[in-house]
Structure 1
């Protein structure tokens, strides 16, 4: 059986070329560059996935704060 070799978390000698990226057995940098993707459909999928969630810092909740005390208690 072949023994797995440990790879560093950050690999400055890794391949930056998108065409050379591999899920298994590649020599990656272990940095994710979502602006330069190997397949065009991945870029569209990634952008759609990013639009499917929000974080509190991006949403103005000031009106919700004002409305909260006026909610009916159950």
Structure 2
């Protein structure tokens, strides 16, 4: 059975039982990826390694920003 078929079956069952429909397949994929990255960075910090990713890049840009010249 494919994911789509399982989703349709779950939706049908939920409708018959008066329950809310399940989320569509793939609806939360990016959220899962972000949480996995955050967890990986957290584990790296606990192990004494530097964290990587968007937060570190943003902090690095902020710390190493060159002063703007006026003129």
Question: TM-score, normalising length from structure 2?
Answer: 0.28
Question: TM-score, normalising length from structure 1?
Answer: 0.28
Higher relative contact order (CA 8 A, sep 6+): 1
Higher helix proportion (structure 1 or 2): 2
